[in-house]
Amino acid sequence: MEIWQAIILGAVQGFAEFLPISSSGHLILMQRWLGVSEEAGGLFFDIMLHIGTLIPVFIVFFKDIIGLFKRTETKLSDGKVKKSFLFSEKMWFLAVATVPAALTGVLLGDFVEGAFYRGDILSACLLAGTFLLTAGELFLSEIISNKRKDTLPLSYKSSLVMGLAQSVAIVPGLSRSGTVISSGCIYGLKREDNASFAFLMSIPIILGAAAVSTIDVIESGIVVDAIPLIFGVVTAAVTGYIAIKFMLKVIKKANYKWFSLYLVVMAIASIVTKVAVGV
């Protein structure tokens, strides 16, 4: 793995993880176009880039993360005060939203990887199809969100809806952030609640993906080169921070049409490059 390849893949992961354009789909394309093998790019960069994109989530949403825990004080019979921390209701919302994706990843993760990472024309067509599905859902959510006048608060029901949407996005080309944010828009969540919760939902998923990838790398015996690792992590973190800040502004306006158009172009590129030049 060359340093310049690590930087490019890190940038792709950082931007695409939080913009509604599918980081997994873009990494598949970029690894094909850069000539990075699945062994070097897939397993290795699943760890590196996911950890990198987790850093800006903690930076931007630090107060929200702290807010998942609430401090309580209980006065004991001897007059002393016992301090403890409990999960807030939002933490339980997050747990409900995480379960569907976790189960889907465990049950279907290997099947999905086998279908999309083969590098043949069928996998290119599948990727193009999921890019188009993401484009469609973004276009639909923009129309519904801009027409809706009443909004709903975050609840267990909305958390489950967003969690089910996230579980579908295990498929490369279906953007996790795009699918989750779209489901929140269609459900009727307040845009501020939708944005912060959608990004908080990425934390357990990214941690889980990183943990699974770590086990895969250890079992496969791949030797990790520290220099590309550092460049990739830093690049993913910086670009991820920029993407989050930008996406928070986009969500407030519910303007997703340009992402839809971009995904249509990428769907075409996935097939054309495979047919024309075999990559």
Please tell me the distance from the alpha carbon of residue 177 to that of residue 262, in angstroms, as a whole number. 16
E strand intervals along the chain = 69-75, 81-87
**151-154 LR contacts (CB < 8 Å, sep 24+):** 151/188, 151/189, 151/190, 151/191, 152/187, 152/188, 152/189, 152/190, 153/189, 153/190, 153/193, 154/90, 154/93, 154/189, 154/190, 154/193, 154/197
| Cβ count near 113 (within 10 Å) | 15
Q: How far apart are CA 39 and CA 254, in angstroms?
A: 38
pLDDT band per the 50, 70, 90 thresholds, residue 146: confident
In this prediction, residues 178-206 reach a mean pLDDT of 89
Q: How do residues 65-117 score in pLDDT, each as one tens digit? A: 998 887 665 666 666 666 666 778 899 999 999 999 999 988 887 787 777 77
Instruction: Please report, rounded to a whole number, the percentage of residues in the chain having pLDDT higher than 90.
Output: 39
Tens digit of each residue's pLDDT (9 = 90 or more) over 155-176: 999 999 999 999 999 888 899 9
Give yes or no for a contact between 41 and 217, defined as CB atoms under 8 angstroms apart.
Answer: no
SS3 for 83?
Answer: strand
Residue 43 above 60 pLDDT? no
Residue 42's pLDDT is 55
Which residue, 262, 243, 14, 240, is CA-closest to 138? 262
**Phi, psi dihedral angles at 189 (to 5 degrees):** -70, 155
What is the gyration radius of the CA atoms in the chain, in angstroms? 20
pLDDT of residue 251: 84
CA–CA dist 241, 244 (Å, integer): 5
Name beta bridge partners: 270: none
Per-residue pLDDT at 249 exceeds 80: yes
Least confident of 30-44, 155-169, 212-226, 240-254: 30-44
Of 56, 38, 68, 274, which is closest to residue 177 (Cα–Cα)? 56
pLDDT at res. 38 = 56
What average pLDDT does the chain have?
Answer: 85
Indicate whether 45 pLDDT > 90: no
Give the angle subtended at the CA of 11 by the CAs of 138 and 159, to the nearest 5°. 40
pTM equals 0.85
Helix, coil or strand: residue 201: coil
